[in-house]
Structure 1
Amino acid sequence: MFRKTAIAGVLGLTLVLGACENMTDTQQRTLSGGALGTAGGAALTALTGGSVVAGAVIGGAVGAGAGYLTGKQNEDD
């Protein structure tokens, strides 16, 4: 039950945060990368039987970092 609730919450948060329009490209990529990483990490650890919270935190950090680096790279081009 907790896993389904956690996944639903993460997906809902992703949809809510997707509506932020007044941000730079790097900010948007960082936010969306973090949200997608959180959702992916939570879902993957739920499927494998690991800690959903730990998976979400790690996935969010990795996703936000990747989004930030991608946004910065696009700004420099």
Structure 2
Amino acid sequence: MRSTSLLLALLAAATLAGCTQPQGGAGVLQTQGGRALAGAAAGAIIADAADENMVAGAALGALAGGATCNVGVGGPCY
């Protein structure tokens, strides 16, 4: 059961990663705040699937998502 939940969480995170550049405009993941929100959601989902603290997972995910703008991962932030 645990591995199934983790697999579903990773699949959801991979699906979210496909939403970076919509047609004709800046996407939600093109800003530091958008990346932080996506990271928080992914961190909470993965922490829940791993039976860990969801708040801590969301906080760490938000930090990691927001930090991606500063290291050049996934293109520039606006």
Question: What TM-score results when the alignment is normalised by the length of structure 2?
Answer: 0.51
- Structure 1 residues 31 and 62: CA distance shift in structure 2, 3 A: same
Shift of 1:30: 0.3
2:65 and 2:33 map into 1 onto residues whose CA distance is 8
The answer to whether the 8 A contact 1:35-1:63 is kept is yes
Q: Comparing both structures, which one devotes a greater share of its residues to helix?
A: 1
**Alignment CA distance shift 1:63-1:23 (3 Å):** closer
Task: Give the deviation of 1:71 after TM superposition.
Answer: 2.2
What's the TM-score once normalised by structure 1's chain length? 0.52
Runs of 4+ more than 4 Å apart = 21-24
Q: Which runs of 5+ in 1 are unaligned?
A: 1-6
Pair 31,73 (structure 1): closer, same or farther in 2 beyond 3 Å = same
The CA RMSD over aligned residues, in Å, is 3.0
Tell me the residue number matched to 1:67. 65
Tell me if structure 2 keeps the 8 A contact 1:27–1:71.
no
In the alignment, structure 1 residue 40 sits paired with structure 2 residue 46: yes
Contact 1:30 1:71 (C-alpha < 8 Å) held by counterparts: no
Q: Give the number of aligned pairs.
A: 54
Question: How has the CA–CA distance of structure 1 residues 22 and 59 changed in structure 2, closer, same or farther, with 3 Å as cutoff?
Answer: closer
1:30 aligns with 36
Percent of counterpart pairs with the same letter? 27
